[in-house]
Amino acid sequence: MSISKSIFGTLDDGKEVELYTITNKSGASVSLMTLGGGIQSLKVPDKNGILGDVVLGFDEVKHYVNPDFGYQGLLVGRFANRIRDGKFTIDGTTYNTPKNQGTWTLHGGGRFSFSIWQVKETTDNSVSFEFFSPDMEDGFGGNFTLTVKYTFTDDNILRLDYTVLSDKKTVANPTNHTYFNLSCDGGKTIENHLLQVNADKFTETDSSQLPTGELGEVEGTMLDFRQLHKIGDKINEPFRAVLDDVGYDNNYCLYNKEFGKMAQAAILADEESGRKLEVWTDLPGIQLYCGGWLEKTGTIGKANSPVTYRRGVALETQFYPDSVNHPNFPFEYVEPDKEFKTTTQFRFSVM
Ligand code: BGC
């Protein structure tokens, strides 16, 4: 294992973004940037041992801070996904968070994703990033530190260990917003990728994609991925919890609801290249998002890999969206001065 450091680029405000690349014994590598603590590149072998970059992204750093480009590869804090009306209550105190999309909060307002993180520690196979947010910043309570340690192994596992520390009872729902395309072919969407999601229920949503509080059964619907099958099989079907033309952008309620217990959440595979990704997590939910809000055409993207409609699959491990407003959803608060930890792994192999 080895690690190297370079300068990735400079943002319009003059801030420099660093890039740390961890390479394992077979040459597979991950490049992690200080901007949003994000995954900028992830090169893993296909069935013939050929390395390919399986994540969407950009060569130019400035595109990463444009929310219209979909939070490519970035970490998300304090609270991933949606908070209805940008409002929730803890022990009688109401907190008002940014309405950065419609009438709700999306991805905590974006601050954690679009800021530079501090590098706390590096080893030959890991990088730890840290971001501090003071009490009541963006309306969230507690002097709050999120540390994310990325570890890459010789058997192509990328592990994300999240640690939160706050001096006040508060909420956290950190995730990583990488879009995968295992074909490494810039001409291909993800519709031919095979997907399995280990969930029999999903969070029902209204016309603004906000949870209603009900849990729906996947059985008999386009959301049923209990068996490995092509994403494109039913992506255009009309369905009450899917917006026309957007396709999959839904939270699944994983079989495993015991927070803190690691289990397999999803499998993504590309038959042609043979590349396979397993997502493991100790969280109860996962957002399946296929980039249905991205522009249909456009050329900005690494090499010949455009960041456009349905070109990548995001598998965002999380507490269910808007958990803070639904006592029936599984959730754990961050208690004062007590470390809150969660882990997600992206395990790569070949079929
Ligand atoms: C959301 C999408 C959103 C995307 C990029 C996903 O987590 O569910 O609706 O477009 O993030 O912000």
The whole-model pTM stands at 0.98
- On the CB side of 276, CA atoms within 13 Å amount to 12
User: What mean pLDDT do residues 339-344 have?
Assistant: 98
Output the CA–CA distances (angstroms, integers) from residue 325 to 90, 95, 281, 291, in the order listed. 10, 11, 23, 26
Ligand 1 contacts (CB < 6 A) are 70-71, 81, 249, 287, 289, 293, 316
Is 256's pLDDT higher than 90? no
Q: How far apart are CA 297 and CA 308, in angstroms?
A: 6
177 is catalytic: yes
Is 29's pLDDT higher than 90? yes
| 180-199 tens-digit pLDDT | 999 999 999 999 999 999 99
Q: Which atom of ligand 1 approaches the CA of 316 most closely?
A: 7
Q: How far apart are CA 283 and CA 262, in angstroms?
A: 8
> At 248, phi and psi to the nearest 5?
-65, 125
* % pLDDT > 70, the chain: 100
Pick the catalytic residue from 107, 177, 193, 326. 177
Residue 227 CA, ligand 1 centroid: distance in Å: 24
Q: Which residue among 112, 243, 246, 249 has the greatest number of ligand 1 atoms within 8 angstroms of its CB, and so is best to mutate?
A: 249
DSSP bridge partners of 131: 146
Output the CA–CA distances (angstroms, integers) from residue 114 to 11, 64, 96, 170, 272, in the order listed. 10, 7, 20, 22, 35
| 216-255 tens-digit pLDDT | 999 999 999 999 999 999 999 999 999 999 999 999 999 9
Query: Which amino acid, 52?
Result: G
| 262-320 tens-digit pLDDT | 999 999 999 999 999 999 999 999 999 999 999 999 878 998 899 999 999 999 999 99
- The CA-to-CA distance between both ends of the chain, in Å, stands at 24
DSSP category for residue 231:
G
Neighbour-count burial of 250, counting CB atoms closer than 10 A to its CB (0-12 exposed, 13-18 middle, 19+ buried): buried
Nearest residue (CA) to ligand 1, atom 7: 81
Residue 328 CA, ligand 1 centroid: distance in Å: 23
107 is catalytic: no
| 80-91 tens-digit pLDDT | 999 999 999 999
Nearest residue (CA) to ligand 1, atom 12: 70
Residue 330 CA, ligand 1 centroid: distance in Å: 21
Is 257's pLDDT higher than 90? no
